[in-house]
Chain A
Amino acid sequence: MGELILMKGNEAVAEAAIMAGCRFFAGYPITPQNEIPEYMAKRMFAAGGTFVQAESEIAAINMVYGAAGAGARAMTSSSSPGISLKQEGISYLAGSELPAVICNMQRAGPGLGGIQSAQGDYFQATKGGGHGDYRMVTFGPSTVQELVEVCVDAFDIADRYRNPVMILGDAVLGQMMEPVDLDQAKVKPAPAKPWATTGAKGRKPNIINSLYLQPEVCEKMDYHLQEKYREIEKNEVRVEEVYLDDAEVVGVAYGTPARLVRAAVEKLRDAGLKAGMIRPITLWPFPSASFEKVVAGTAAEAGTGNRVKSFFVVEMSSGQLLEDVRLAVAGRRPIYFHGRMGGMLPEPEVVLAEMRRLLTDPAAVGGEYGLNYVVPALKPEAVAVAVAGAVHARGAGDMGGTGGGAR
C-alpha cells in the first residue's frame, strides 16, 4: 500500500498515463477535460516525453497515430464533441492496428450540448464511432483510483492487441478529487514493437497502413481484426459483481451512476433487502457472462433456483448501456431503467427508492423524475410487472417488448 494522495480525476489519469510509459500526448482544449493536457504540459517534458497542443482534435488524434506508429506509448484526451472529431482517426488506428489510448470525459449532447456530466457517448465508444467494422476496448471507471488503474491497463491492452483503447469517463469523474494510491496500478513494460516505423536499418521497410484496394485482401484483414476482437472478448472482460450470490434485484451501471447504485445496494442490504450489482468496468468487451450466470433460467423460474427477479439499469443517457444489458438478458428477466440526460445526475434518493420498490413492490416502480421505462421479460407472467409509473416511456414495440408504456 502506497501513499494516498488527493488528486483530481483528470490529473490522476494523466499521471497514470505517464506512469504507464506514455511519452507522447497531443490534445486540444475542451471542457471538462482541460486538466489532462494542462497536466501533461507540466509533466511530460520532465518525464522525457512530448506534449503538443494540437490545432484541433483531428490533428491531435493523427499526431497520436504518427507517434504510435513510431512505437511510442501515445495518448490523447477530449470530451464528447471533440471525441466525435477524433472518430476518423480512431478508425484509422483500428485499421492500421496501432495501439493508443483515448480518454473521453463525457459531457452532455447532442451537438454542443453542455459541459456537465453525461454518458451519451456509450454507443459511439462501444459500437464503433468511426467508419468500418472495428471495435475499441472501452473502460468505464467509476472512481479516481479506478481511473488510474484502468489507464495503466489500457496501455497494456492497447500494446498487446495493437488496438485503440478508450477510457470513457465523465465530467464528474474528471473534476472530482479523491484519495489515490498510485502504487496500486500495476505497470507492465511495453512489448517490443518490431512493426514500428523506426527507420529501416538492417531490415525491410515497415509500413503503417489500412488501405487494401483488393476486396479479397481487405476482407482477409477484416477477418484478422474480427479474430482479434474475439480474443479480446475472451480475455479482457473486467467487471465487479456485488452480492450476486443471493441478489434478487441487480443494479447495472458504470461510471458516476455506478457510485449511486453501489450506495443504494449497500443501504438496501443494511435494511435486509437482497440487492446486488453488476458493474461493467469494460463496456466493450461487455461482461455478458456475469448476466448469463444469474439469468440462466427462464423468467418463470425466477425466485426459485435463481433468485434474480429483475435488473435495474441507471445511466446518464436515454438507455445505451441498457441495450447491451438487453442483449445479455435476452428477454429472460424484466429490466427497469432510470436515466437522466443533459448533464443532470440521477438523484441518490430516487435510485434508492426505485430499487427498494423493485425489491418490495415492483408494481409501484416508476419515479417522478427522469426517463423511466421497463423492458419486460418475454414471458407473460413477467410482463405483468410492467412499469405502471413511467413519466415517459418508449413504446413497447420500439423496445422490442410486449408491454410497458406511460402511466
Chain B
Amino acid sequence: MSTRIFGRPESLATINFHYCPGCTHGIIHRLVAEAIDEFGVREKTVGIAPVGCAVLAYNYFNLDMQEASHGRAPAVATGIKRVMPDSVVFAYQGDGDLASIGTAEIVHAAGRGEKITVIFVNNAIYGMTGGQMAPTTLIGQETTTTPGGRDPAKSGFPIPISEMLGKLPGAAYISRVSVSSPTHVARAKAAIKKAFQTQIEGRGFSMVEVLSTCPTNWGMTPRQAIEWLEKNMIPAFPLGELRNWEKEQGQEKAQGSQVEVKH
C-alpha cells in the first residue's frame, strides 16, 4: 500500500494562479493552505482577499472567502470573527494595502487583540498598478513614482510595520520571514503555523510579514529578484520574531519563580 507524502493542499482550489513568473505569492498561498489543512480547520476558516495582486485570492483558496475594499481586510476580519468566534479568520494583504491605505485598520485590529491572522506580503512595491512606490520601498529603490530611486527628502522612509505592531499589547505573535530559499520557506511555514496556532488558542492578534519578490515591477529575472531580496530587503527588514506570546509566557514564569524565591 502506498502512502501519499506530497500533494496539493485541500485548502487550495484546483485552479491555476495568475501570478507572474518568479512571483512568490504562489508559495505563500500554499504555505497558508498547508497550515490550515494541518490544523484541520478548513471547514471553519474564512479568508479575506485584499486589493492588489492577490485580489483574486478568493478563487485560489478552497474555503469561504470575502473580498475586502483596499486596506480594510482587518476590519472585515474583525466583523467576521466577532460574529463567529469559533471560526478561523485570516486576512491576506500586500504592502500597499496593509502598510499604506490600511494602516489604521491593521494597527487597531492588533491593538484590540483581534483573534485573527494576517499574512502580510511585503514586496516593497505596488505590483497590480504597475510598480509605484510602496510604504515599504527601500531607500534608493527605483519605482515608477521614485524615478532615480527613493529619496527620503522627497518621499520619506520605509515603514517597519512588524516592529511597530510588535510594540502593541494586543499583538500575540508577530514575525517576519522570507520565502527566498528552501530554508526560508520552511521557516516561513513554521511562522505561519504559529500564527494560526495563536489564533486557534485564542492568544490574540497574529501576523506574519513575508518578504516577497516582484520580478516584473522590479525589472529583474526571477533569479535576480531572489538575490535582490536577500541582498537588500533582508538587511532593511530583519527577519525574526517581533512578538511571541509563548516565549513571553516563559519569561513571566521565570520572573514569577524569582519573586517566589525572594519571599
In the assembled complex, the Cα of A170 lies from the Cα of B185 at a distance in Å of: 56
Q: Which of A58, A74, A89, A210 has the most CB of B within 10 A?
A: A58
In the assembled complex, the Cα of A199 lies from the Cα of B83 at a distance in Å of: 13
Q: Which of B63, B77, B78 has the most CB of A within 10 A?
A: B78
Q: Is A278 an interface residue (CB 8 A)?
A: no
Query: Are B79 and A64 in contact (CB-based, < 8 A)?
Result: yes
| Distance of A211 from chain B, by nearest CB (Å) | 6
From A65-73, A171-179, A252-260, the one touching the partner chain is A65-73
Q: Is A55 an interface residue (CB 8 A)?
A: yes
Q: Which chain A positions have C-beta within 8 A of B180? A: none
Number of chain B residues close to chain A: CB under 8 A: 38
Q: Is A50 an interface residue (CB 8 A)?
A: yes
Task: Kindly identify, within residues 30 to 68 of chain A, every residue whose CB is under 8 Å from any CB belonging to chain B.
Answer: 49-50, 52, 54-56, 58-60, 62-68
Query: Are B62 and A70 in contact (CB-based, < 8 A)?
Result: no
Q: Which of A197, A206, A211 has the most CB of B within 10 A?
A: A197
Query: Are B108 and A55 in contact (CB-based, < 8 A)?
Result: yes
| Distance of A198 from chain B, by nearest CB (Å) | 7
The answer to whether A59 and B108 touch (CB under 8 A), given A24-B83, A65-B79, A68-B79, is: yes
Q: Is A96 an interface residue (CB 8 A)?
A: yes
Q: Which chain B positions have C-beta within 8 A of A68? A: 79
Query: Are A69 and B105 in contact (CB-based, < 8 A)?
Result: no
Q: Which of A96, A199, A211 has the most CB of B within 10 A?
A: A199
In the assembled complex, the Cα of A199 lies from the Cα of B84 at a distance in Å of: 10
In the assembled complex, the Cα of A66 lies from the Cα of B58 at a distance in Å of: 14
Query: Are A23 and B83 in contact (CB-based, < 8 A)?
Result: yes
Query: Are B42 and A62 in contact (CB-based, < 8 A)?
Result: no
In the assembled complex, the Cα of A206 lies from the Cα of B59 at a distance in Å of: 10
Taking a contact as CB atoms closer than 8 A, the residue among A24, A64, A74, A200 that contacts B64 in the complex is A200
Q: Which chain B positions have C-beta within 8 A of A49? A: 83
Query: Are A50 and B72 in contact (CB-based, < 8 A)?
Result: no
The answer to whether A59 and B83 touch (CB under 8 A), given A197-B66, A199-B64, A200-B63, is: no
Query: Are B69 and A66 in contact (CB-based, < 8 A)?
Result: no
Q: Is B80 an interface residue (CB 8 A)?
A: yes
| Distance of B94 from chain A, by nearest CB (Å) | 15
In the assembled complex, the Cα of A66 lies from the Cα of B69 at a distance in Å of: 11
| A59 closest partner in B (C-beta) | B75
Q: Which chain A positions have C-beta within 8 A of B87? A: 70, 198-199
Q: Which chain A positions have C-beta within 8 A of B38? A: none
Q: Is B46 an interface residue (CB 8 A)?
A: yes
In the assembled complex, the Cα of A63 lies from the Cα of B48 at a distance in Å of: 12
In the assembled complex, the Cα of A268 lies from the Cα of B63 at a distance in Å of: 64
In the assembled complex, the Cα of A157 lies from the Cα of B166 at a distance in Å of: 44
The answer to whether A207 and B78 touch (CB under 8 A), given A62-B105, A198-B84, is: no
Query: Are A52 and B82 in contact (CB-based, < 8 A)?
Result: yes
Query: Are B69 and A59 in contact (CB-based, < 8 A)?
Result: no
Q: Which chain A positions have C-beta within 8 A of B66? A: 65-66, 69, 197, 207-209
Query: Are B58 and A207 in contact (CB-based, < 8 A)?
Result: yes
Mind listing 30 A-B residue pairs with CB under 8 Å?
A23-B83, A24-B79, A24-B83, A49-B83, A50-B83, A58-B104, A59-B108, A64-B79, A65-B76, A66-B77, A66-B79, A67-B79, A67-B83, A68-B79, A69-B79, A69-B80, A70-B87, A71-B83, A74-B79, A89-B69, A92-B69, A198-B84, A199-B84, A201-B43, A202-B43, A205-B62, A205-B64, A207-B59, A207-B67, A211-B56
**B interface vs A, CB < 8 Å?**
13, 42-46, 48-49, 55-56, 58-59, 61-69, 72, 75-84, 87, 104-105, 107-108, 112
